[in-house]
Amino acid sequence: MKLAFAGKGGVGKTTISAWLGDYLARNGHDVWMVDADTALSLGQACGLAAGDQPEPLVTRKDLIRERIGTGMMNLNPDVGDLPAELAVDLPLGGKCRAGIRPGRKRLLVMGTVTAAGGGCACEANSLLKALLRHLVVETGGWVLVDLEAGVEHLGRGTVAHVDGLVVVSEPSMRGLQAAACIGNMANEMELVRQVLVLNRFSNEIPIPKLDGLPDLATVFPPLPGLMVRQLQTSSVIGLPEEAQIDGLLKKLMERLAG
């Protein structure tokens, strides 16, 4: 299954992407983790040291020229070799259950392209879209794409072929309004398999009904272990609450599969 994660900045979509990738790998699945956010924090959230992060594809001008060209652009470049060439392996956050062979978890850092004021970035955009399309349409296994905060990637249509969309929000009107906007735009793209995840939230307070807001799949409560960890390191995997997180992720996957 190919999933994209979206939401307002700071709501925890990168954290939940990292948790799900690790959960899948510990359950025997091969996973491509794709960082398409300008914050470039998915690798560190997954336990990768800052100095071991791969160079963002968007900065690889050599590859962009080679595959896309300049002037007369190649809009259908061959990118089949790029995932293996550009990816780095990610560590597992915990142990697999007895009898399960861990899957391989790999990170691709796409980067993103600034819009107004950044000059023409058509070549870079074309290569990013071609590689994402290849991963989503032609690659086997699981692909998890951590999107740019807001609706930027949805607006470009770079996730048009994913199987589902996980919209993450915090318990705030601004976060939920952004989630509803993302949901409406996804509906316009006919991406109807979408779910809402509320982060740092309890079930005691009802959430407002907003047009376009996806159905609630699960709720992640505030986690003391995560609060302590975030003052020590950027990694969010291997927390004391791992069993609780795994149970919530299983619920999320069941809702996506339903």
pLDDT digits (tens, 9 = 90+) for 77-101: 889 999 989 999 999 998 888 889 9
Tell me if 82 sits within 8 A of 131, measured CB to CB. Answer: yes
> 2-257, which class in CATH?
alpha beta
Residue 118's pLDDT is 42
Tell me if 144 sits within 8 A of 15, measured CB to CB. Answer: no
Determine if the pTM surpasses 0.85: yes
Name the pairing type of β-strands 194-199 and 164-169. parallel
Residue 216's pLDDT is 94
Residue 153's pLDDT is 64
Residues of the chain with pLDDT under 50: 114-120
Residue 117's pLDDT is 36
Residue 115's pLDDT is 42
Residue 116's pLDDT is 35
What are the structural domain ranges in the chain?
2-257
Residue 89's pLDDT is 96
Q: Taking the chain, what is the end-to-end CA distance rounded to the nearest angstrom? A: 13
Quote the DSSP letter at residue 38: T
Residue 119's pLDDT is 44
SS3 assignment, position 29 = coil
**Rounded Cα–Cα distance for residues 95 and 106 (Å):** 17
